[in-house]
Amino acid sequence: MNLPGSNAVRGFIDELTNRFGRDHIVALDRIEETADSAIEALLRPLSKEELDDLLTTIRARRGLLSVGAAYGNEVVATAKQILAFGGAGIGLAAAFLQRLTEVPPFILKGVAIVALFYGNLILLSLYIIFSFAWQARFRYPFLYFTRIGNTVPFFYYKAISPDTPRSMFQSGATKETAARLYAADFVQFVRYHIPGLLSDQNVSAGSTVDTSTKDSACLEAKRRVVRDEIQQYFLILSYQGYVNQYEVRMNNDFLYGLIGATVAAVVLGIVMFS
């Protein structure tokens, strides 16, 4: 039986240890193989004209999608301001701590209510900032795939070697490794984009067989372009779904936390002034 919150705890541990990528690699391979075969079966019967029409449609639709920066959320900005004012409030309270005995009791009660309310807001803001920062560790499902995830022409995850050094401070040897990987990745990137041209070099003018081979190579190249476009189009849709739902959940968490802080302050006020 799953206890309340147990899935979240397991998810937290999995994100820390990357257990999913290790323990589910076989299942991921099966999932990718099935999807890859189905996509190829759908695209293979299409003619060049049908592929051109599909490519035009996909590019037009993908161009309407928003691919701006994620998580530009007002809740995060509000949480930052609450923490900033909370720090200033703590410093101000420390300055007047020695004079509390001179303050009338009803004012002290009011200060206690405000302190409880703002203390809860600070805890809520810390949770919002933590969840915002933790989201950067989240690995979207398409990042685990090599054939149905990111595509070479559109994202560095697929085009750039994962061994490329990313540290802020790099030695000369590390920079040389990065330069070597950059050159190799660039060659692979260019080679990926010119399969049709390479096929054209082996074609003899007037040859029926060679012309058929050329047409087949061009059709295969067109099919790959269409697949790259439609695959990245769907990936962006999937990514937007994660971003949108994450922001909705974060807004809900902030709203429920704000309501809870308000109710706690009201209850304390009723208790203290009754």
| Cα separation, 87 vs 121, whole angstroms | 12
| Cα separation, 240 vs 67, whole angstroms | 8
Least confident of 77-81, 217-221, 258-262: 217-221
Helix (H, G, I), strand (E, B) or coil at 206: coil
Per-residue pLDDT at 185 exceeds 50:
yes
Per-residue pLDDT at 37 exceeds 90:
yes
| Cα separation, 83 vs 62, whole angstroms | 39
Secondary structure in 3-state letters for 47-90: CHHHHHHHHHHHHHHHHCCCCCCCCCCHHHHHHHHHHHHHHHHH
| Cα separation, 65 vs 81, whole angstroms | 31
pLDDT tens per residue, range 222-259: 899 999 999 999 998 998 888 888 888 888 999 999 99
Q: Domain residue spans in the chain?
A: 66-138+194-273
| Cα separation, 206 vs 125, whole angstroms | 73
Q: Are 146 and 32 in contact (CB under 8 A)?
A: yes
Neighbour-count burial for 208-228, b at 16+ CB within 10 Å, e otherwise:
eeeeeebeebebebbbbbbbb
pLDDT tens per residue, range 47-84: 989 999 999 999 898 888 776 555 557 888 888 888 88
Give 20 or 139, the one with higher predicted confidence: 139
Residue 230, class by beta-carbon neighbours within 10 Å (0-12 exposed, 13-18 middle, 19+ buried)? buried
Residue 128, class by beta-carbon neighbours within 10 Å (0-12 exposed, 13-18 middle, 19+ buried)? buried
